[in-house]
Amino acid sequence: MQFGTFHLPLSPSPEEDYRVINQQFDCIELAENLGFECAWLTEHNFTGEDAYGDPIPLAAALAQRTKKIRIGFAILQMAIHHPTRILLQTSLLDNLLNGRLTVGIGRGSKFNEFEYVAFGVDGDETEHRERMFEGVDYMKKAWQANGEPLNYNGNFFNLSIPGVRPKPVQTPHPLIQMSGSSNETLAWAAINNCPIMLPRMGIEIAVERLNFYKEQMESAGHSEQSVQNNLNISTLQRSIHVAETDEEAYENVQEPTHRLRKHLLTTRAKFNPEESNQEEKAKGHDSQKWSSPVFTPDEGVADYLQRGVIYGSVKTVKEKIDELDKKDIRSLMACFDWGDMDQVKVQESMKKFGKEIIPAFQ
């Protein structure tokens, strides 16, 4: 089983941005030393939900601070990016990282509509998905042209480029990994031979989604070796906290999780268009307790702690990872930042996981 770290640190105020951003260097250097395979960088802008916001310059800085660990995006929100700009930036990054880059691509956040508004993009999810597919297709064709000119004519992009320079280190291009859980996204990723990233979800749903993806790859005629390689890389997200005891772990995650939920609901209510907020209130059913303001803080946090998170002693966490391993989930991206949790507790949790849990699954 492979393990990566997933970096979504909350910065509660602008005054704390500098501190939280720079703490990520310590965390990712620690992850490399502990034997994690990849550090996944997220993208959320404007509100401190993700302290660094833009993962691309952070990845460039990490190229100077790391030597072995892969750096991946989880994800670049393609709804707000032009693919030519991503093409050029990631080609350079692959050189800076000496071939250690994974370009994680996704449609974008369905909760933070203010991120779309700021870039002049509407919230049409179907259009975002189709635009994402076309953007990735264009990027792959541009890389595969091996520096030669390319004319691309699509529904969203009609582009002509002289060629991609600098040439990336990975051949024919950096690894592209698709985020999503819908049939449409997983089928497209399978047909186009892209491994996938699954968001936080229950074990049985994750297994069903991976099986669907595997079937789609086989139906598309990919070799068994390609199918297995992609399943090895395809990864599932979990928030993880390891402490001395189950009780200590539970206490450690309570307050940061409450503060995170309050921050998310407050910023979305303040900055999302009014019609978007009304839609969220209308979705006040059991599966939306974490993200819906109609539920109490205790209900929301309790719901969160029951779905797709792992916390407890080394023994408990190891047992829960073992459940995933026995279901043939082969890669996990672990978020050790529970909102604004104290970094001493975050790094102690990482150390316990790296030293006492990772070796048990290798």
Q: Is the pTM of this model over 0.85?
A: yes
| pLDDT per position as a tens digit, 308-351 | 899 999 999 999 999 999 999 999 999 999 999 999 999 999 99
Residue 285 has pLDDT above 70, yes or no: no
CA dist 63 and 41 (Å) reads: 13
* Residue 337: closest CA among 33, 34, 15, 41: 41
Residue 74 has pLDDT above 90, yes or no: yes
Helix axes 125-144, 183-191, angle to 10 degrees: 10
The pLDDT of residue 124 is 81
Residue 281 has pLDDT above 60, yes or no: no
Cβ contact 143:113 at 8 Å: no
User: What's the mean pLDDT in 232-260?
Assistant: 98
What CATH superfamily classification does 2-249+309-361 receive? Luciferase-like domain (3.20.20.30)
Give the residue extent of every domain in the chain.
2-249+309-361
The neighbour count for residue 307, using CB atoms within 10 Å, is 14
The pLDDT of residue 286 is 46
* Residue 166: closest CA among 95, 98, 101: 95
User: What's the mean pLDDT in 187-203?
Assistant: 97
| pLDDT per position as a tens digit, 45-56 | 999 999 999 999
Per-residue confidence band for 125, with pLDDT thresholds at 50, 70 and 90:
confident
Cβ contact 335:240 at 8 Å: yes
CA distances from 352 to 236, 256, 347, 359 (A): 20, 20, 9, 11
Round the CA-based radius of gyration of the chain to a whole number and report it: 20
Peptide bond into 75 cis (omega under 30): yes
Dihedral (C-alpha) 72, 75, 78, 79: value to the nearest 10 degrees? -170
Place of tokens 């089928």: 187
How confident is the prediction for the chain on average, in pLDDT? Answer: 95
CA dist 340 and 15 (Å) reads: 14
The pLDDT of residue 213 is 98
CA dist 201 and 175 (Å) reads: 24
Per-residue confidence band for 287, with pLDDT thresholds at 50, 70 and 90:
low
